[in-house]
Amino acid sequence: METSSLVRGKNHSKREFKFLSLLIRVNLIQYWRKLNAIRTQSLLMSSLTVLFLIGYIISAFFLFYKGIGFVGKFPGFGILLIERLLFLLFAILFVLLLFSNIIISYTNFFKNREAQFLLYQPVNPQTILNWKFIESTALASWAFLFLIAPFLAAYGINRGASWQFYPSIVFMIGIFIILPAVIGAFFAMIVARHIENRAFQIVLFLITVLILFVSIKYFKPEALPEDETRVVAVIDRLLSKTSFVQEFYLPSYWLSSGIVNLSEGSFNAAFLYAMVLISYSLFFGTLIFTRVGKLFYSSATAVQGRDSIFQNWGLYKTLKMRRKIFKSKPALIERFFKIFWWIDSPIRALIVKDIRVLIRDTTQWAQTLMLFGLLTVYIINLRHFTHQLSNQFWIHLVSYLNLMACSLNLATLTTRFVFPQFSLEGRRLWIIGMAPVSLKRIIMAKFWLANFLCLTITLSLIILSCRILKMPTDKTFFFSIAITVMTFTLTGIAIGFGVLYPNFKEDNPSKIVSGFGGTFCLVLSFIYILASVVLLAIGSPWTRLANTLPIISLACWCLFAVMSVGFGIVPLRVGLERLKYLEI
């Protein structure tokens, strides 16, 4: 009896493993065919994207190499400072990876058509979870691996590491990314299962507020002593405020210590930290691959079976009382948009629909909150950083770095939230196509709505940051005009490429953005931002060069205007022309 049960268990495990292998193989084939299709359909854009990626790797490696070499030359504490920055970098990246895995796992587990289809099939939920976990980990971690590779290569060359250093850190990082993926998957399933519980909501809110309060209090900069050298004070404050990243219980500490020991040739110590990473990754990975299928299924059931509007009315309420639900007054958002009487009612209805979809999508809100949390940290630190600025050169440099930071935030917003708007209409696009409004007007309505929302955010951000940097009114006005022009351009890029490269088969915005069109949109946005900031900095009326040769300022401003019009209008016009040949 026991032998037959064991045999059945082994056969069941083999069957589930074969099905998981089939899912992985099918999706890899699909991804490969998509890449081939992109390569054959648009060789120019594919080549530009590859050139940009190669350029990023080379330029990032050069900057990291020079920066690490410069910091390492500080007498006495150069090596110590580099190691502390390494520990701090991986601690921050671990937190970002954790948030990324939570958001992507929630979307991929419970808001994905493939997952919903598989749940209705005679397939073990554990097998479905295993595949979606592998896919979510890859989606959340590929950017981390791409960004960190030039830094680690530059660090190893600066420290004179042996050839064993490079394959070893690849192995350690591959093990490291499993931990935030497992934690993020667990948290996503727990949130999906209990998000409607009022007590759970209160506890989650209180924990978030507590973490924010403790972080702000802990990282609040202290005033520098007047009788102390500036560099020594900054280094001492940096070392004291970042001592928490060297706590032994942090996974980032195990990875960072392993990398440091590998660079120094201490392979035995690095092997110890690698074994710690492997043991925890194997333990938690085994849990999620074998023991949480029931939790995944119950969470998916809870997400798909939310309470309806009739849940609390019962079967004993009359039909007349139920009809009263649909006789309520228009919602606040509808009454607000009635103010814009010059906009046609179909366009107003479309705008209201887009805003409601954004509000109801919890995954969109989670990413928005994370983005604005990072902006809050940036603003808080910018306020304390201004006390150290006295030289006009550094004030001028920081002001344009602030413009770049605000515009990069704008590019993140447009790529993440504006680019997928057309694709998110999905297979329901034919309904909009039958409406008494042309697709061109619908796209332009999305364009103006995105501009309105983005301008509200970016103008507020640039004005606030300029005030914190204590800039005069003329400089604040100058940067406000610049960010306004860049907002229209970046929104045009996102809308245009969103129409040119739609993905109607996918309802996950993260996957839509991760495609070729989203990547190319982000690449083009970054190129435009870099060129614009350089032109505006060279042509700034407050520099010595511009005062000596005013024609340079005029030339730079004209180039900025022409480039903004070209980058913004061309993709939008081409996208609108593409609508004529779109099959709905």
Convert the pLDDT of each residue in 349-405 to its tens digit: 777 777 777 766 665 666 666 666 666 666 666 665 555 555 666 677 777 888 888
pLDDT of 333 reads: 67
Rounded to whole angstroms, how far apart are CA atoms 583 and 429? 10
Rg value, the chain, Cα: 27
Which of these, 513, 500, 258, lies nearest to 363 by C-alpha position? Answer: 513
pLDDT of 76 reads: 65
pLDDT of 362 reads: 60
pLDDT of 393 reads: 66
pLDDT of 284 reads: 92
pLDDT of 428 reads: 66
Rounded to whole angstroms, how far apart are CA atoms 584 and 579? 10
Q: How far is CA 546 from the centre of its chain?
A: 38
pLDDT of 219 reads: 62
Which of these, 89, 40, 46, lies nearest to 67 by C-alpha position? Answer: 89
pLDDT of 379 reads: 67
Rounded to whole angstroms, how far apart are CA atoms 387 and 223? 9
308, 118 contact by CB (below 8 A): no
pLDDT of 331 reads: 65
Amino acid, single-letter form, for residue 526: F
pLDDT of 278 reads: 93
Rounded to whole angstroms, how far apart are CA atoms 296 and 193? 9
Rounded to whole angstroms, how far apart are CA atoms 244 and 522? 34
Q: Classify burial at 371, counting beta carbons within 10 Å of its beta carbon; exposed 0-12, middle 13-18, buried 19 or more.
A: middle
* Cα angle, residue 337 at apex, residues 495 and 329 outer, rounded to 5°: 130
Which of these, 110, 141, 140, lies nearest to 125 by C-alpha position? Answer: 110
Which of these, 122, 123, 151, lies nearest to 20 by C-alpha position? Answer: 123
Q: How far is CA 109 from the centre of its chain?
A: 18
In the DSSP assignment, the letter for residue 359 is H
141, 97 contact by CB (below 8 A): yes
Helix, strand, coil percentages, rounded to 5, for the chain: 85, 0, 15
Containing H/E element for 284?
helix 267-290
Q: Cα-flanking dihedrals φ and ψ of residue 344, to 5°?
A: -60, 145
Q: What is the mean pLDDT of each run of 10 residues along the chain (584 residues)?
A: 52 77 87 74 68 81 86 74 85 87 86 84 88 88 83 88 88 91 91 77 78 69 52 60 79 90 87 92 90 88 62 43 52 69 73 73 63 66 59 72 83 83 72 71 83 85 80 84 90 88 74 75 85 84 63 83 88 82 63
Torsion of CA 135, 137, 140, 143, to 10 degrees: -100
pLDDT digits (tens, 9 = 90+) for 156-184: 888 888 888 888 998 999 899 999 999 99
pLDDT of 541 reads: 72
In the DSSP assignment, the letter for residue 326 is G
Residue 226: which residues within 8 A CB-CB, separation 6 or more?
A: none
